Structure 1
Amino acid sequence: MKAALAGPGGELLYQARRATGRDRGPDAVVEGILDFAAELRALGVDRFGEPARAAGVAVPGIVDEEHGTAVYAANLGWRDVPLRALLGERLGSVPVALGHDVRTGGLAEGRIGAGKGADRFLFVPLGTGIAGAIGIDGRVESGAHGFAGEIGHVVVRPGGLPCPCGQRGCLERFASASAVSQAWAEACGDPDADAADCAKAVDSGDPRARAVWQDAVDALADGLVTALTLLDPRVLIIGGGLAEAGETLFSPLRDAVRRRVTFQKLPRIVPAALGDTAGCLGAGLLAWDLLGTDPHGPGPHGAGPDGTTPTTTTPPEVTT
């Protein structure tokens, strides 16, 4: 878990990390989040003379942002956890926002990171799986049912490898960091080899690594061109562990996307700027939006709960 006290422009005023405690069960994870949030709100009093004014939390899995429920998170063992209500009870009268981890990360990248100033962007982190965040005019789309941006489950290789979602040939089965790790481990015969090792082997000229890497890049480009055809983003932001390979990834990826576009307008393809703090910062921005304080314009709810629009002197909120 990552948590922070954040200012209205996304500045990190204090940050901390701790284990989720998921080995102790799903209820322990929830309790850990509640405790963490309460501690940071109290820290606001110690450091700024007032408690934090709002809270934002970003969680993985399927999230019902409207009702504040963590619907399903396999890695945490959650089903229908009313996290927003639980945080509201623990923190008192503080308004709470709940968001999906990838979408909140995309929100931060779009407003204050690599996509700053872009009216339309797509944020795609390449990690254990692949998801996406669709940014429009400073907001991120969750969709009618909370599934917007699930680019990892676009089929790019029909009849290909089976995916846990029930389909075959999904993008994340070929272009995620875990997929590259698996393919490289099989190709080099080392079960402990991972995507970072593959990238290093690519740089050293290993033809086996180059073949694995190019397969992943080609699959990724196919998925991204489908997305940009539908969404027409101005900026395409690539993050996650695989993006840490830098130009080893971005140079062939830009070429592969360029070769595939015809009538589409080619977006800028850039690395994410905020690293693994993006989700935490995005949760903070969600919280500021509750108060109507958005450094890029008025929030969706207008003035704050006290009838005023908070300024940068407002004490920061806790995000987890």
Structure 2
Amino acid sequence: MRHVIALDVGGTGMKAALMDRHGVPLHQARRPTGRDRGPQSVVASVLDFAAELRAYGIREFGEPAAAAGVAVPGVVDDAAGVAVYSANLGWRDVPLRAALAERLSGAPVALGHDLRCGGLAEGRLGAGRGRDRFLFVALGTGIAAAIGLGGRIEAGANGGAGEIGHIVVRPDGLPCPCGQRGCLETLASAAAVTRLWAAACGDPAATAADCAQAVERGDPAAVAVWTAAVDALADGLVTGLTLLDPGTVIVGGGLAEAGETLLTPLREAVAARLTFQREPEIVPAALGDAAGCLGAGLLAWDRLDAVHDDLTVDDDVEVSG
């Protein structure tokens, strides 16, 4: 059975699948990254895991994976196949695509940013399916977005497209690690809501999920924290809507697990800020934490198709003397 390897490399663990042409996982597995042993150990863990998946495919399906796709965090040069920088993994300029291709006996390999891979999967298999233009926004430790255009995800000239979390929405706000003040992710990420709610309720162990539950109970302090986060998020989204004009905004990440407790006031806040802009449909993500892995598999199939097209073009070239 023809299949590809899909790998999603996170800060502490890796999710993987052998995936068929239709995006269906035929086999799934998880492994720790081993980041406590250093950056090179993480690379070795990725390579070993990929080789293990290749061996499983040979054993169970009678053939090796036709290609592989890998999603990684941080700054990624998709075209060169290099993991440029990842604070979580300690990586700098890791030529991961070449290393994986060598370990997988020359199979085509695609490397992509984890958030963009998640957006690709949501666009083709999840909440964005059938929608030509969408914005996938992930509300986690930080905030980032994937820009979906005509079945692909826009990476930008330097791989930085979609950094909506660093739109300044409160110029006099808190410092952000990026060097600016008042960035969206300092106010509306899951980490920001956790910090603000812990301070408001006096419990250092309180989380954003606890805040959402308190909002549902009508706790005034929780409502104040939540409303401030939603207002900041709406301000950031309206900037994105004005620039990109997506028909759909897909909201995912940890904070989105609050469901309509987040989405209902967010829709209202966005609508109240629009003037000439067309109001988008704001919907929850459909694939959860599987999105990055599924997107890596889709990248692998795209890479395989591109290699096939290149070979076809070469075969069609006529040489005259």
CA distance in 2, matches of 1:204, 1:304: 57
Q: Which amino acid aligns with 1:257?
A: V
- 1:49-98 Cα offsets, whole Å, 9 max, x none, are 10000000000000011101111100111111111011011111100000
CA distance in 1, matches of 2:217, 2:73: 36
CA distance in 1, matches of 2:267, 2:172: 26
Q: Are 2:171 and 1:158 aligned? A: yes
Counterpart in the other structure of 1:90: 103
User: How high is the sequence identity, in percent, across the aligned residues?
Assistant: 72
Q: Which amino acid aligns with 1:253?
A: L
Q: Which amino acid aligns with 1:83?
A: L
Instruction: Give secondary structure in 1 for the equivalent of 2:278.
Output: coil
Instruction: Give secondary structure in 1 for the equivalent of 2:156.
Output: coil
Instruction: Give secondary structure in 1 for the equivalent of 2:283.
Output: strand
- 1:217-247 Cα offsets, whole Å, 9 max, x none, are 0000000010011001111000000000000
Q: Which amino acid aligns with 2:295?
A: G
Q: Are 2:130 and 1:117 aligned? A: yes
Q: Which amino acid aligns with 2:294?
A: L
Counterpart in the other structure of 1:303: 308
1:6: how far off? 0.7
In 2, are the aligned partners of 1:181 and 1:194 still within 8 Å (CA)?
Answer: yes
CA distance in 1, matches of 2:89, 2:120: 23
- 1:10-63 Cα offsets, whole Å, 9 max, x none, are 111111111111111111111100011111111111111100000000000000
Q: Which has the higher contact order (CA 8 A, sep 6+)?
A: 1
Instruction: Give secondary structure in 1 for the equivalent of 2:171.
Output: coil
Counterpart in the other structure of 1:210: 223
Q: Which amino acid aligns with 1:259?
A: A
Q: 1:196 aligns with which of 205, 209, 226?
A: 209
Counterpart in the other structure of 2:181: 168
Counterpart in the other structure of 1:297: none
Instruction: Give secondary structure in 1 for the equivalent of 2:251.
Output: strand
1:174-189 alignment runs, 5 A limit:
174-189=187-202
Counterpart in the other structure of 1:10: 23
CA distance in 2, matches of 1:304, 1:9: 19
Q: 1:23 aligns with which of 36, 44, 59?
A: 36
Q: 2:233 aligns with which of 220, 244, 253?
A: 220
- 1:260-309 Cα offsets, whole Å, 9 max, x none, are 111111111000000000000000000000122xxxxxxxx27367759x
CA distance in 1, matches of 2:150, 2:310: 24
In 2, are the aligned partners of 1:291 and 1:305 still within 8 Å (CA)?
Answer: no
Counterpart in the other structure of 1:313: none
Instruction: Report how many residues are paired.
Output: 300
Instruction: Give secondary structure in 1 for the equivalent of 2:144.
Output: coil
- 1:111-157 Cα offsets, whole Å, 9 max, x none, are 11000001101000100000110010000000001100000000010
CA distance in 2, matches of 1:185, 1:160: 18
Instruction: Give secondary structure in 2 for the equivalent of 1:270.
Output: strand
CA distance in 2, matches of 1:137, 1:175: 29
37-46 vs 235-244, greater mean Cα deviation: 37-46
TM-score, reference length from structure 1: 0.92
Q: Which amino acid aligns with 1:251?
A: T
Counterpart in the other structure of 2:319: none
Q: Are 2:160 and 1:147 aligned? A: yes
Instruction: Give secondary structure in 1 for the equivalent of 2:32.
Output: coil
Counterpart in the other structure of 1:255: 268
Structure 2 runs not aligned, ≥5 long: 1-13, 314-321
Q: Which amino acid aligns with 2:88?
A: N
Q: Which amino acid aligns with 2:276?
A: F
In 2, are the aligned partners of 1:196 and 1:245 still within 8 Å (CA)?
Answer: yes
CA distance in 2, matches of 1:223, 1:121: 16
Q: 1:245 aligns with which of 245, 258, 275?
A: 258
Q: Are 2:301 and 1:288 aligned? A: yes
CA distance in 2, matches of 1:220, 1:101: 22
Q: Which amino acid aligns with 2:308?
A: A
Q: 2:288 aligns with which of 265, 275, 294?
A: 275
CA distance in 2, matches of 1:225, 1:29: 39
Change in 2 beyond 3 A, CA 1:55/1:302: closer
TM-score, reference length from structure 2: 0.92
CA distance in 2, matches of 1:84, 1:189: 47
Q: Which amino acid aligns with 1:138?
A: G
Q: Which amino acid aligns with 1:207?
A: P
Counterpart in the other structure of 2:93: 80
CA distance in 1, matches of 2:140, 2:280: 22
Q: 1:265 aligns with which of 278, 281, 286?
A: 278
CA distance in 1, matches of 2:34, 2:183: 31
CA distance in 2, matches of 1:7, 1:168: 45
CA distance in 1, matches of 2:223, 2:82: 43
